[in-house]
Amino acid sequence: MASPLDKETIEYCDRYLKATIRNIRCDHFVHLVKPSKYNLTFVNLDQFENELASEKTEPENSLCEYIDVPGAQIPIHDPEIYHALMSLSPMQRSILLQNIILKKTIKELSIQFHTTERKIKYQKHLALEELKRRISFEK
């Protein structure tokens, strides 16, 4: 029985299949050899899923930074304000946040920092001036 394909078509198909097999083999070995050639290590991240998970479950908390002050952790959602607050000295930052956010009085802060009420007011004033300067400078 005669073949329905002529000899040219059979040779073309043969060359095509050989080229395809050769290309697939080269691609396969390139992926095996390339990491060792360039000293790369691939890691399966599924193994570390629990370690990489975020503890912050609320979406609004995932985009904020926290500042620690005595008695609380204060979330700051605006990066500009966070960086401006972090530019303050630790004492100024603590006085400002405890007075404004935690509603501690100047007298309570002076007892906490073992200093005078006047110095607490002055540090708060300096902190507010620095924040105004930083925030208006960045805009």
Asked whether residue 67 falls in the same domain as residue 133, the answer is: yes
Asked whether residue 127 falls in the same domain as residue 80, the answer is: yes
pTM given for the model: 0.54
Asked whether residue 30 falls in the same domain as residue 81, the answer is: no
Domain that holds residue 85: 59-138
- Taking the C-alpha atoms of residue 135 and residue 17, their distance in angstroms, rounded to an integer, is 67
For 46-57, write each residue's pLDDT tens digit: 666 666 655 555
Beta bridge partners of 74: 67
Distances (CA, A) of 113 to 33, 71, 75, 122, 123: 63, 14, 23, 13, 12
- Taking the C-alpha atoms of residue 139 and residue 81, their distance in angstroms, rounded to an integer, is 12
Residue 99: φ, ψ to 5°: -75, -45
- Answer whether residue 47 is part of any domain: no
| Res. 28 pLDDT band, cuts 50 70 90 | confident
Q: How many helices (DSSP H) and strands (DSSP E) are in the chain?
A: 6, 2
For 90-131, write each residue's pLDDT tens digit: 999 999 999 998 999 999 999 999 999 999 999 999 999 999
